[in-house]
Amino acid sequence: MSKSSFVNISQKSLSRTAILLFSIVALTLSTLAQATPEDKLEWAKKVGATETPKVKTTIKVNAFGALADGQTNSTKGIQAAIDACAKKGGGVVIFEPGSYVTGSIFLKTGVELRIDKEVTLLGSQNFDDYPEINTRIAGIEMKWPAALINVIGQKRVALTGNGVINARGKFCWEKYWSMRKAYDAKGLRWIVDYDAKRVRTFLVQESSNVTIKGLNLKNAGFWTVQLLYSTKITVDGLTIRNNEDGHGPSTDGIDIDSSSWILVQNCDIDCNDDDFCLKSGRDWDGLRVNRPTEYVVIRKCIARKGGGLLTLGSETSGGIRHVLATDLLAKGTGNGFHIKSATTRGGIVEDIYFQKVQMDSVGNAFKFTMNWNPAYSYSTLPKGYVFDSIPAHWKTMLHKVDPPSAGIPHFKNIYVNDINVDFAKIAISAEGLQASFLENFNFTNTKVTANIAGSVSFGKSWKLNNVKIVAKDNSILEMKNCTEISKQP
């Protein structure tokens, strides 16, 4: 073979190799371009508690003086049983059938508190039975009453059973409404929630590998379940009913607050504020703490009455990201999917997946706002008050965000898919800011019937693919000050 023939053959082989490599690269790029958002959700398989209490030896609270008569305060007896169990390296604390009155109790590492079907815990109605602790409430760190049941700084803890925890929170509601009337008249709407110091039902704080499963929670004095500064938590099969004794203000269902790797599933909530809510601090204090809520899965749950099936905010300062909400039902809920913040909160809400959801008779199917509830969100000290003489948490609330631009929130990379909504009042109510557009919202395979179609303002890079809104008033979705809007049949 001549030298020139060898060269020609080599050039042809190189050309074929180059073409093959180009084809492989092109195919890979095409595959990546066609990848769905769900391909990014491998993390969703890793949420929830990975460890539980291992010791199964049982200890009865009754052996420590707790009485099942529904009248005697048994806080000391229940706590003594928990402490004894923890000292033995863990185990299961149980109750003889009956009703037990208790104030704050504190679970310990390795302990499972089991409340069986024949058992009811009744929350004390005396504020003195809930000692104040250092915690965070509604976005700021402050002194606040401990919850009815607490897990603080612990690991491998469980609260289980098919019994009832009735917080009997009406005494907290009455205190709040009385204070609210007086505070409103003084221009202090922004601080009354913090001064009322109502009692939460269950608090997990600075803890890991905690499981809450199968219980019936009723009549919370304030938030029902708060997961704060914690990781690897499973909440499974809770039934929450906060309307039996009347209208309880701020009785959120489950609040996930600056926490990560959380699994919430098979829960059924009927409350008077947000049903499933994610938070991460508010204003100057939240920006100081700067702890996100991230890696959260909420699935196979129901929201009945309440402020929102899924609510993100209004406390967004630390950021909320990597959230999957799927296979959900809203029935008579105020909002379906609600993202809310304020211009002093800051933070980024991003990488949120809201899919396979049915809604019936909700208020707003989709509500997004960066200027939520101004009377509550923005703090101003009225004339007649001396700054040096006000409580420490008032000063925290009044601390200005500097620079002001740090208080501007951002919502982006939101994915909404396979949604069916019947009988909503408004399909979409979305309000960004000139300084912060609602960016890259993706709606796919979504059908809404509503009284009003609604509007989007300051939206950027919205993609509407197979989205159908049927409005009773024949209105169409209005786009105001929006850019790069893509609609496909």
How many domains, the chain?
Answer: 1
Instruction: Return the pLDDT at 38.
Output: 60
CB atoms within 10 A of CB 40: 14
Query: What does the pLDDT look like over 364-375, one tens digit per residue?
Result: 999 999 999 999
- DSSP category for residue 388: G
Backbone angles phi, psi at 484, to 5 degrees: 55, 50
Q: Which of 321, 314, 355 is nearest to 139 (CA)?
A: 314
| Domain annotation covers residue 390 | yes
| Domain annotation covers residue 446 | yes
| Domain annotation covers residue 102 | no
CATH number at residue 214: 2.160.20.10
Backbone angles phi, psi at 77, to 5 degrees: -65, -40
- Residue 37's pLDDT band, with cuts at 50, 70 and 90, is low
| Domain annotation covers residue 140 | no
Query: Going by DSSP bridges, is the β-strand pair 254-257/274-279 parallel, antiparallel, or unpaired?
Result: parallel
- Residue 337 CA to residue 354 CA, distance in Å, equals 8
Paired strand residues for 24: none
Query: What does the pLDDT look like over 238-296, one tens digit per residue?
Result: 999 998 877 889 999 999 999 999 999 999 999 999 999 999 999 999 999 999 999 99
| Domain annotation covers residue 231 | yes
| Domain annotation covers residue 127 | no
Containing structural domain, residue 431: 172-488
- Residue 79 CA to residue 76 CA, distance in Å, equals 5
Considering all CA atoms of the chain, what is the largest pairwise distance in Å, rounded to the nearest integer? 106
Query: What does the pLDDT look like over 349-403, one tens digit per residue?
Result: 999 999 999 999 999 999 999 999 999 999 999 999 999 999 999 999 999 999 9
Please say if the pLDDT value at position 70 is more than 50: yes
| Domain annotation covers residue 366 | yes
Query: What does the pLDDT look like over 317-348, one tens digit per residue?
Result: 999 999 999 999 999 999 999 999 999 999 99
| Domain annotation covers residue 81 | no
Strand, helix or coil at 166? strand
